[in-house]
Amino acid sequence: MKTIKFLFPVLLLSLAIGFNSCSSEGPEGPELPELPELPELPEELILGAWEHDGFSFDIQTNSPEATAALRELFSTPEFGISTMTFSEDGTVVVSYEDGYIKNFSYKFENGKLVFDGMILSYTLDNTKLSMEMMNLDAEELAEMEEFFTDVKIQKIAITAIFKKK
């Protein structure tokens, strides 16, 4: 029994020394690669002034004459936007070619640009903003066909293009 009483403190002492001698720092592992820089969010990229730079048309009909007439009709839209200036507070100031200026709201939602309540497809980079302004559905295309004789309209999509000022 005396031997157990003697060995017990020695055992505790050796365990304490053993635990303290172990380093909590492990060997150095492989160096971690640097994380790539995160791309800018659309909210950051869109800020600032954008100047209207033209339109892109996707008009498909069975008549070259009807296609040309539709392209001409949509080449001079009534909105005539000259510039758009996006602010951090979710507002955009739109200047029109006739000098009229109007404020709208905007936000990004589910990969779309919501511009004053209208949900628009868009592409955006540091120098170019493209917004799909019109993409007619089958019912709207059928209504357009009423203005033509023997013309089948398959598609009318118009994208407004802006460049960073």
Q: Is the pLDDT of residue 158 over 80?
A: yes
Give pLDDT tens digits for 62-101.
999 999 988 888 876 555 789 999 999 999 999 988 889 9
| Residue 119: per-residue pLDDT | 92
Class of domain 62-164: mainly beta
Q: Is the dihedral of CA 152, 58, 107, 105 positive or negative?
A: negative
- What is the tens place of the pLDDT at every residue in 70-81? 888 887 655 578
**C-alpha triplet 151, 54, 39: angle, nearest 5°:** 115
